[in-house]
Structure 1
Amino acid sequence: MRVLAELAALEGHEVLALDLFGDRDTRRAALDWTRIGDPSALRIDAALLLAALEALRAQGVEGWIAGSGFDGRTDLLAAGAQRLPLIGNDAETVARVRDPGAFFAALDAAGIAHPPVRRDWPDEREGWLVKDAAGSGGTHIVAAPRHSLRALSATTYLQRERPGVPMSATFVADGRDAVVLGCNEQIVQERHGWRFLYSGVIGPVPVAVAVLDQATHGVCSLVETFGLRGLGSLDFLLDGERIEVLELNARPPASVALYPQVGEGGPIEAHRQACRGEGLPTPRRAADTVRGSEIVFARAPLRLVERQLAWLALQPDVHDLPDLPWAWSPGEPICSVDAQGASATAVRDKLARRSDALLTSLETLA
């Protein structure tokens, strides 16, 4: 939510934020903020959300943009859209994209490469991953040998583990066509029992013409098949100059923060216009500067009180700032750090150093 709130505010929109945390920078970007769930539960409360949207409608608010908290909760997305117009893909569209059968059938029909998938248990589980299409952030991915023997749910499937660099293509679509804003390297790490934990993103990064062509073909084919609108991202593995598609996020992704300029304006206005059928932005020349953001996870039990939180808020290039004293267990996200550089490697190194230095300082302060 913080990224969307800040981008919208920079574009001159009046922002009213709804989320679980109420981070300091989210509140700073918004005219008002409403909590819509218990942050310790990491789940949006349906009653709180719907009441908040009802209140916004009474205030004459134009509409709302759904973030990552609605992955796998299309019923809540639909209910929210009945209270206040949803600026983005409707619940039916998101459900189709999240349906493993429909999604991978669409890839096959368009000749788009992807790792082998199946909906039943193989005789030999080694080399297979179990994924939940309703999940996000990498916590929904489990190695098949470690998974229980129970039957797979409607949203779970097995996917062959493949080599490659985790990447994504950020795009904006109008229901028929799309513009790819750029390609990004994803920071995926093994932490606290999760092998594929999403930890950040770096971009735009230069890729070979063949790679960009494959990513663009994948995006445009899926946009046409599912009628996708607005900002989104296509996740894929890059092995040499060959990509294999993993999944698609039919909502504004975290990587949108890497693209503060889209066409003649910003990404939020491009999202609004595309959702309304008012056209797509003209692609801009790739920026010379590479940007990146990485989540800072606690590596030991940590509790910060107001004095430490005030210190944290003064640090440069630190975002998603906690607003209230809080305690973190190892592996839980505390905040995020940003960096810029001439290459993805330089940015990755800067992010790692800043994250480590920040953790060391916080642990010393605590």
Structure 2
Amino acid sequence: MMQPPDHPTTSASGLPEQVILVGASVRSAAESAVLAGFDVMGVDLFGDLDTRSCCRTFCPVDHWCEMTADRAAQWIQRFRHVSRSPLAAADGQTRPTGLVVVGDLQRMSDVLARMPDCVQVVNDPFPYHTSPLPAELDRAKVASPLGRDLLGKSVDLCSRDQGGSVRAPESHLDTADFDSVRSGGRWLVKEYRSAGGLGVRWLTDDDLAGDDLAGTNHRGRQQNRSMYFQRWIPGRCYGATYLSNGSQVSLLGVCQTVFTRNGDRPFVYAGSYGPVAVSPTQQASLLNLGERVVANTGMRGLLNIDFVLDRDGVMWVLEINPRWSASSELIERQLAGDRGESEERGESEERGESEDRGSLFRVMHTALRGASTDNQPLATGSYQRAAPYYKRIVYSRAKGRFDRLRLDREVAGVPLKWELKDIPSAETEIQPGEPIATIIIDIHGSSRFVWQNAKRLFAAVQKAVV
């Protein structure tokens, strides 16, 4: 299993070798950071076994947000001194500890507010929406200060360049203009500060008729400014991953997004499939969009643009996450030497042990400093691969605890090359509808009956909650 490095990465540049990772789940970014030689402190919602195993220090989000400022400062100082990274820069000044946001959180503002002065946030912590933002809303709590203005401008300019093949869905802050909503099509209610599709649901007739929508009065005027309304675009949803140093932009790959329904939430994130092949025309459109966005915003590091591709080939841009995303680990695996051919894993090999591959976190770290990534591995995308990975989050159907030994018995003989990630401890109480663990299947290295065996694998994970 991954372990904190004996000899952390050293650098004479502005960003430190220590890093604090914050997000709903920091596991994949932490694994990549450790692979690059960083000392990691993780702050996330789950604290899974494999997350904790590669972090020098770990703190659950809820525990962190309950701390006083003094207590949080003591926690950071302990990490800074336990870590074997140097605390002094070349000029003798105290070196800051970098904080990289690698996933969205409803409580992100609370987490960042408790960070002491010795912590430097090195990337943008909030997503950019293509929807409008209400003027009275504190933008720092719902989106980047640059907000919709520059993102909307980027999409509009790209749409002109591509003859209308890149657009943004129609969105409204409130339903006072309900003639547009009633004119046809289906509509979504979206929360600004939500993650993984948990803040998205259908707008219903009951919402239009009365007071059923929280924060909306009988005339349809929205009072709750934490949400907006967006026309649903039928099609397949994808995430395009870019690398930017603020001027240069590379398209690293595109992954298809997989959803599942959870109660009245129809678009809960369940995984990613890819990288998938894209046509030269789509590649050109995506590169143009990325260049426009970076030119208007100056974004650095990894960027993920979520979009829907409709049956006419139009790309509908939903939002941009200026950070490590859920599909980044698939991009990393694909681009690490283009992976090449590998032998089937023997039965005695321990699942979950990381492969010897390049670190995408290292490349992102270089780009965040504004440095060129021309000589960095993993900095160039491959757009025509036909042997992607399948990452699937398995959600529980029952209440219980995860029994790893039972899973091992259930999956014995399954002819797939796969890894178990985000592994809960034996003491974790799992509720129905909550994530159990993540499965990553190497489609390239598995049998031709991959989908039948994948279903068997997912069912085995669910049966292991007892």
TM-score between the two structures when normalised by the length of structure 2: 0.67
With over 3 angstroms needed to count, the CA separation of the structure-2 counterparts of 1:72 and 1:172, relative to structure 1, is farther
* Aligned match for 1:355, one of 444, 447, 458: 458
Matches within 5 A, 1:1-366: 1-37=26-62, 45=66, 47=68, 52-57=75-80, 60=87, 62-70=97-105, 73-74=108-109, 76-77=111-112, 80=115, 82-89=117-124, 95-96=143-144, 99-100=147-148, 103-111=151-159, 112-121=166-175, 122-123=178-179, 124-125=181-182, 127-145=186-204, 147=207, 148=213, 149-150=216-217, 151-240=222-311, 241-260=313-332, 265-281=358-374, 282-286=379-383, 287=385, 289-304=387-402, 308-309=403-404, 311-312=406-407, 317-342=419-444, 351-360=454-463, 362-363=464-465, 366=466
The number of equivalent residue pairs is 356
Which contiguous aligned blocks of 4+ residues in structure 1 show a shift greater than 3 angstroms? 43-62, 69-83, 90-95, 97-106, 123-126, 152-155, 261-265, 284-289, 309-316, 345-353
Contact in 1 for aligned 2:399/2:432 (Cα 8 Å)? yes
Amino acid at match of 1:37: D
| Deviation (angstroms), 1:87 | 3.0
- Contact (CA 8 Å) 1:169, 1:235: kept in 2 or not? yes
Deviations 1:95-151 (A, max 9, x none): 337844654354235434121112221244561111122211111112122651252
Q: C-alpha displacement at 1:160, in angstroms?
A: 0.6
- CA drift at 1:51: 5.1
> In 1, distance between residues paired with 2:408 and 2:361?
26
2:459 maps to a residue whose letter is: D
Task: Check 1:79–1:106 CA distance in 2 against 1; reply closer, same or farther (3 A cut).
Answer: farther
Once the two structures are overlaid, the 10-residue window that deviates more, 313-322 or 179-188, is: 313-322
The letter for the 2-side match of 1:16 is M
**% identical aligned pairs:** 25
- Paired residue type of 1:35: P
User: Which one is further off, 315-324 or 188-197?
Assistant: 315-324
The aligned amino acid for 2:197 is G
**Letter paired with 2:321:** N
CA distance in 2, matches of 1:190, 1:355: 16
Corresponding residue SS for 1:68: coil
Structure 1 gaps, min length 5? none
Please state which structure has a larger fraction of its residues in helix: 1
Distance in 2 between the 1:132 and 1:288 partners?
35
Could you tell me how far apart the structure 1 residues matched to 2:406 and 2:168 are? 46
What SS is found at the alignment partner of 2:429? Answer: strand
| Residues 185 and 50 of structure 1: CA distance in aligned 2, closer, same or farther (over 3 Å) | farther
Q: Measure how far apart 1:353 and its partner are.
A: 3.6
Q: CA deviation at 1:22?
A: 2.2
Relative to structure 1, the CA distance from residue 51 to residue 152 in structure 2 (aligned partners, 3 Å threshold; closer, same or farther) is farther
CA distance, structure 1, for counterparts of residue 396 and residue 249 of structure 2? 38
Cα drift, residue 185 of structure 1 = 0.4
Q: Distance in 2 between matches of 1:211 and 1:46?
A: 47
2:441 partner letter: A
5+ long unaligned stretches in structure 2 = 1-25, 88-95, 127-139, 160-165, 208-212, 338-357, 412-417
What is the CA-CA distance between 1:276 and the residue it aligns to?
0.5
- Change in Cα spacing, 1:263 to 1:320, as seen in structure 2 (3 Å) is closer
| Shift, 1:2, TM fit | 0.8
Q: CA RMSD in A?
A: 3.3
Higher mean C-alpha deviation, range 226-235 or range 213-222: 213-222
CA distance in 2, matches of 1:336, 1:77: 27
User: Is the Cα–Cα contact under 8 Å of residues 167 and 186 in structure 1 kept in the other structure?
Assistant: yes
| C-alpha distance in 2 between matches for 1:256 and 1:330 | 27
**1:278 Cα offset (Å):** 1.1
1:292 and 1:351 in contact (8 A); partners too: no
TM-score by length of 1: 0.84
Change (3 A) 1:329 1:72: closer
- Per the alignment, do residues 34 and 301 of structure 1 end up closer, same or farther by CA in structure 2, a change over 3 Å counting? closer
* Secondary structure class of the residue paired with 2:123: coil
User: SS of the counterpart of 1:139?
Assistant: coil
